Amino acid sequence: MSEPRYGIWIPVYGNCGVMNHPLEPRDASYSRAKNLIQLAERCGFTTTLIAQHIINPRNQELDQLETWTAAAALAEATNSIEIIAAVKPLLFHPAVLAKMALGIDAISGGRFSINLVSAWFKPEMEKPGINFLPHDERYRYSDEWIRVVKALWSGEKVNFYGEYFQINDLKLNPPPVAKPHPRVYVGGESEPAQELAALHIVALLFINSRTSKINDPDSAKFAAERILPDEAVHRLGVVDWWQRKFDRASPAEKEDLIAQVIEADEEGQRRRNPYLRDHWQLSQKAIGIEIDDLPVLYDTWRQEVLSYFLDIPISRLPKLVSVND
């Protein structure tokens, strides 16, 4: 299992929290962003997110750091940290964005990723006269948009004829440094957002790698084709697919699937336990939280998750590995 990664949020709005604080003056400058990310890199942080707005969503009179020019400069100013730039597809043609991303990918030496955001702040689209599509249509647009971007990242000549975009005999060079291409992260909570994520993302914070451990050929094939092998967190689409498989299974098949999932989850829990204990102890030292009851709470939560996921009462679960084991 991959280790957790820790990152920082670039203060594109000036401040991320309190608007007026004597120890945090409002400052959305590139200079502040560069100093912050270089400090984060020295402290061992591995990733950073640069949100995207063309106007400050709190008040357009306030400063707002531009995401993509800042991402290129921060890529040059750093050595190891991942640079994630948010992008709203309505603001960029996919061919233009794909080329821009390839440029920053090259500057960073393969450390560049994008965060696909299908937009929520309506005024920044309406004020410049950009058509703000209805909610579900924005996700259909994003789906086609990211398919074009990823096709152009392939290094091959692209011909694409969709509802929103028509690409004729276009090839972008040089190809990406990151292999097979820059990572794609997706933000959103609605059902269309989750469907988009299941199709296109590298990782979605939903469930761990237990689903890839199910030992039947169909599951193994699906995981191999749809999941990158180095990711600890798997796609929502895998879970949906497996749940449909589970729902169609006979009672005997369900018992076998339940046993396989529990076995895989137990293996994963044994790997997580040292990290969890270290993390709690660090949190206690850093902010003084009480951790004595956390193992019991965590074990109880895990029982409830497995019970819900497998559709069986907690009383039918075997004795599980404890976080204290």
Strands 82-87 and 158-161, bridge-based pairing:
unpaired
Domain ranges in the chain are 7-202, 250-316
Mean pLDDT of 59-82: 95
pLDDT of residue 287: 63
Whole-number percent of the chain with pLDDT over 90:
32
pLDDT single digits (tens) 266-302:
776 777 778 778 777 776 776 676 778 888 888 888 8
pLDDT of residue 233: 38
pLDDT of residue 212: 39
Q: Which of 226 and 9 is assigned the larger pLDDT?
A: 9
Mean pLDDT of 77-92: 95
Q: Check pLDDT > 50 for residue 139.
A: yes
pLDDT of residue 322: 85
Classify burial at 145, counting beta carbons within 10 Å of its beta carbon; exposed 0-12, middle 13-18, buried 19 or more.
buried
Mean pLDDT of 16-44: 83
Give bridge partners of residue 167 from the DSSP assignment.
160
The amino acid at residue 226 is R
Lowest model confidence (mean pLDDT) among 167-176, 180-189, 298-307: 180-189
Averaging pLDDT over each range in 63-67, 234-238, 240-244, 307-311, which range is the top one?
63-67
Tell me the pLDDT band of 117, cut-offs 50, 70 and 90.
confident
One-character DSSP codes across 224-237: HHHS-TT-SSB-HH
pLDDT single digits (tens) 181-197:
898 887 655 555 555 55
CATH topology for 7-202 is TIM Barrel (3.20.20)
Can you tell me the distance from the alpha carbon of 286 to that of 42, in angstroms, rounded to the nearest whole number? 19
Residue 160 φ then ψ, to 5°: -140, 130
Q: Which of 37 and 59 is assigned the larger pLDDT?
A: 37
pLDDT of residue 219: 43
Please state the pTM of the whole predicted model.
0.61
pLDDT of residue 153: 92
Can you tell me the distance from the alpha carbon of 133 to that of 78, in angstroms, rounded to the nearest whole number? 37
